[in-house]
């Protein structure tokens, strides 16, 4: 897959093709929660997978078990750090992908 990194036709800038590579073994993980941390220079987006504990028994027993929980483990499966400028591009890419998906369904 290739992507163009283009300039704004400013002097001293050039266009370079980037060959985007992903190894076949690049892991993919399911995430059902995110945490976004913001600083002046970057956004840190952490992706978590939360699996509720299995609860057996009657409805009342399950409710009692749920009330006794103090926390449920959330495993961080991926984390990315981006600059504010790159976050704008990420948001646009996600929005474009969603629009394309919505149009095809």
Confidence check: pLDDT of 2 > 50 = no
* DSSP code per residue over 25-93: T------SEEEEEE-SS-EEEEEEEE-PPP--S-HHHHHHHHHH-----EEEEEEEEE-HHHHHHHHHH
Phi/psi class of residue 36: alpha, beta or left (left: φ > 0; alpha: ψ in -120 to 50)?
A: beta
Total domain count, the chain: 1
Is residue 34 domain-resident? yes
Is residue 7 domain-resident? no
Check: CB of residue 82 under 8 Å from CB of residue 42. Answer: yes
What are the φ and ψ backbone dihedral angles of 67, each rounded to 5 degrees? -65, -25
**DSSP-derived 3-state class of residue 22:** coil
Is residue 63 domain-resident? yes
- Over residues 30-79, the pLDDT tens digits come to 999 999 999 999 999 999 999 988 999 999 999 999 999 999 999 999 99
> Could you tell me the residue range of the domain that residue 73 belongs to?
25-104
């Amino acid at each position: 897959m290739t992507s163009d990194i283009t300039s704004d036709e400013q002097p001293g800038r050039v266009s370079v093709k980037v060959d985007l590579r992903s190894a076949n073994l690049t892991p993919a993980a399911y995430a059902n929660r995110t945490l976004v941390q913001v600083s002046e220079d970057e956004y840190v987006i952490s992706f978590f997978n939360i699996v509720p504990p299995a609860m057996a028994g009657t409805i009342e027993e399950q409710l009692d078990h749920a009330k006794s929980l103090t926390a449920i483990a959330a495993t961080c499966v991926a984390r990315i750090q981006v600059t504010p400028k790159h976050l704008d591009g990420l948001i646009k890419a996600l929005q474009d992908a969603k629009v394309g998906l919505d149009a095809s369904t």
